[in-house]
Chains A and B, each alone.
Chain A
Amino acid sequence: MGSNPALPAFLKSSREAQVYPMSAPYMGCNLRDLANAEDTTVEAMRGKRVGIDSFLLAFQFLTTIRDRSPTGDGGPLKSDNGKVVAHLMGFLSRASMMLAKGVKPVFIFDGSHPDLKKDEMDARRAKREQAEADWKAALEVGDFATAQKMAQRCVKYTPEMVEESIEMLTLMGIPAFRAKAEGEAQAAVMAANGQLDAVATQDWDALLYGAPVVIRNLTSDGSKRMGRVIRAQRIELSQLLTENELTRDQLIDLAIMIGTDFHPGIKGIGPKTGLKLIKEYSTIEAVCEAKGKDIPDRLDEIREVFRNHPVVEVDDDFLKQGDVDVEGLKKFLVEDRQFSLKRFDNAMDLLEDAGLVRTGGQTSLFSF
């Protein structure tokens, strides 16, 4: 997989208009100060069915698996035939790593964003478009350093790339699908109704959507960032609520005051003040009345998005790990996308160790 000196194919894409209006990973409402996160490991999730918030992860791959050669454009890594493969490379390695460690991942991608999120999406789109213009300008004058910086800010994850990711995961026998709306919300609802054991996401909002257990940094556990080792962290909703003496509805109101994807929040109220106020007054309406603030627009709609997020119904059978389609996966990666045989074989070794590669008609007990 070498660098392609030409402008990335997706820049010229006529499908530009359909591109997801998301520019950078968003971490959700900052609940860090409320949460008593405990260090954990991938190994500790062995045997657990974990819903993976895949959109954020794809962005992480697209911004970190890049063409960093001195004259590279800094964009996501592409194969020699010009296809972006950074997202697939990332999903392949993380998914096989998780399977090898006995985790049962379920990859959940965003569907359509709630109408309430329009302002946020517009802002992100504007930011990305600016970065894109700066990127092209820098490439034109041969300023590769700036180009590489800008490239990270205008990464796009197109519907085709989502479909492609789902296709690859399906070939690996892994359940993968698109949510009705927000991916982390779909995962949270499924965790709350017992279909999943935990939600892996960086997005704190998963707690607002009712995820009983959220794991942060699951896919980057053990990796190094800026000289320090990243550890997976486990946050339990019930513990968070008990320790802060909050109900879930109060937590949602608190988050709305601090600021969420759907509303910028009430000016002058941060996590600390917010917590104090919500404990004293219990609801946003009461806080606003006591403090002479305006009640956020469409408050009830925002609350509803957190309390009853639209989700697709997923059958339990669909969530079972299937067998790896070795030939299909090889064609998809090696033939069609020029992955090296070595990379493919490494992934296969991990999957074989996990007992997921079947040969000669041997069935699994769980297919009966």
Chain B
Amino acid sequence: MMGVLDALRRAIERLRSFFRKAPMDRDLDAEMAAHLVLAVEENLRRGLSPEEASRQALVRFGGVAQSQERHREARGLPALDLLLQDLRYTFRTLRRDRGFASVAVLILALGIGANIAVFSVVNTILLRPLPFRDPRQLVWMASDRGVGGLSAVTYTVAAYEEFLRHNRSFQNVTSYDPYFGDTDYKLTGRGEPQQVAGVAVAGDFLPTLGVQPALGRLFTPEECRKGGRPAVLLGHFFWQRQFSADPAIVGQAILLNDSPVTVVGVLPASFDFGSVFAPGLKTDIFVPGIMDVLRNEGNSLALLGRLKPGVTVAQAQAEVDVLMPQIRAAHKDWYDDYATAITELQDHVSGKLRRSLVVLWCAVGLILLIVCVNLSNLLLARAAARSKEFALRSALGAGRMRIARQLLTESLALASVGAMLGLGIAFAITWYLARQGSIALPLLSTVQVDGAALGWTLLIALAAAILFSLAPSLKVSGGNLQDALKDAGHGMSAGRKHESMRAMLVVSEVALACVLLVGAGLLLRSFLRVLDVDLGFQPSKAAAIKIDYNDGGNRERRGAILQEILRRVSAIPGIQAAGIVDMLPLDRNRSGGLQAKGRIYRKGEDPGAAFEYVVTPGYLRAMGMQIREGRDFSWQDTPASQPVVIVNQAAARSHWPGQDPLGRIALVNGMDTRVVGVISDVRESSVEEGSGLEMYLPGTQADPEGAELVVRSALPPEALASGVLRTLRAYNPEQPAAEFRPIQSIVDHAVSPRRFFVILVGIFAGLGLLLASLGIYGVISYSVTRQAQEIGIRMALGASTERVQLGVIARTMRLALAGLAAGTITSVIAARWIAALLFKTEPTDPAAFAATVLLLCAVAVIAGYIPARRAARIDPMVALRGD
């Protein structure tokens, strides 16, 4: 105890002394002066001559400066003193060399900033646990082993309840209704009518995730029963936007779909349903999922389980593999066997992105490596220019360690300033990314530079500083004092050894940039191929708006309403085609039963459900879908006439192989239906995967799940929006103010993750290219400066300016080609590793490699040409006269 107090007291005293350097030094000086006076007086008393008296006093005292130094060491913080001294020296030298300092800091800031930003993204999506209680226990359950559209991977209420009753692995299994369109709500009575996005969740959904309300409470069991009191929970952002964050809204009733619903609570800002379960989509409100209502709707629940403590995913999977067939055997009437795949929720959310994110992380790591090599190079050039300074310091008694330490301090100072600027850059980038709602990446809206990112910053700044000060330190501490003092600088081709080190660094820099460029090239080509995919519809010049009407569930009336809406909308000037659909491709989907009537399907032959779309006449034309055979629907297809269906080519091939399906009878959801048309395949669920089986039914003969009005027009959507909305309002005053969405934006949303990665990797590759060219320029330019005299002599001896120029450019190209050779070999290996991310592009794609080689060569020529011109302009007289 005493010891601790003593140590503390001493530390405080040392710290005090550290800050009271000047007065303490003055005090000591006075004390030492008094000491000498006393000593001289005593010596005089002993009878020595005045000179001898003062000489002996000084000898007995020892070195005054050393005593001072010891005093300071004993009382203060010598290590800190040394560091401050180094830092002061560093800032002095860096201030003298502003150009170097700002270039170095800028390069570092870019490299470190990019790294922090990417780390923040990777950390948020991949590394950090999901923002729920005990997230490792949460698992995702997908029917049909997770293959197929929404209807394939979801469950009926009955299957959900049976599983809940019999399983032993789960604490709880909860669910929500993933058909968000079914639960789109209209908010009225507060300004203009509005469409709000809502999701129906089981009563125990939020408690199972561990989400606590920010205000009010969650749903009561009573509210989750059929006929219970209507209740709604508000999402945090919706609450802020729509209700100005007014806490008094809790307990009040709002009008949803024209009926009063009580707001029972507000969810916390940390809970963003969309960012986890439906990336890129916002969710405004939550309503109780009422099982007795959903019971008759087929596969309509997405399941989410919380495992019991200690139960692994594999154990749960094993149980499900046994349990599901048993449940199925007890329910012969079910049309699905619910073969379930269980994955950790985190994997479900971000598993598919893992490879992409790791690639991104590596790319940005390469950038940092290039930055380090570049700085190493700059520092080496500086070290060469400063060799005299170091030699002088070393002659004055500074040890090699001391000088290496000085260099490390300089590097750390540069890295710290760079890291601080880089943090600023990263803050800006993450701020921007978090507001890109249109990028379909999970959790992106929660990206920020957090504590982990700060730690990462510290780590990479430190690592970078050590890395890029390594080469110069070795060079300086390995150098020869006499050589340095003699090698006064602008001599002949002196210091070749030293230049070979720099050349090696440049070669590696070019190689690294080459890898980045090839990677970016391959990803870019894949992206272009994705954009080139024939979607089966024409997204440009088409736009969609959600519409609202009340048909009372009557098909006859619906037909009349839809026909009237389309008649009015088509009359708006500039509208070329218009139609209505319940679900847009690449947006939402559901499936229904489709079979060829009379065909006996052998085991494995039945492809199962088909994607089902309920449309009006004109929709196919408005979307730009192509009718291959037969006809579009017409208003003559009524509830009373024969049921008709249009299928896509994939469905035709699958159910009527080798036959013309036109005019044949299909079983659609169990009903005899005549095939009247075949259309080209439409990419309905993903741009990159092939089309599934699709069927289109007329809105007069089947019941739609919502309604989207699609119009085709040469006019931009903004120009149309007000006219269309006015027309819709004139017909139905209740029509909410919905967003007018260009169909292209839906496609963009679908390819947004790929675009995101391509843009980032592309930026990194550009940065790498820039840094590599800076590196080449630096080395060549420096060698021209050093060899000015030699070049001067050659020119005096008759070498032409062209020859001198060519010589410099040839040297540049040798460096670039060496780098390219190494880089190409590395790229071939790296490309194979990212093959899984490529789309219709070979990892050895000649175009990407050729473009990289050409680009790097071109940049090298430019980087070499500037110093070459300078070399050619050297005046032999001046060069020879120069020192």
- On whether the two chains bind one another, the answer is no
**A residues within 8 Å of B by Cβ?**
none
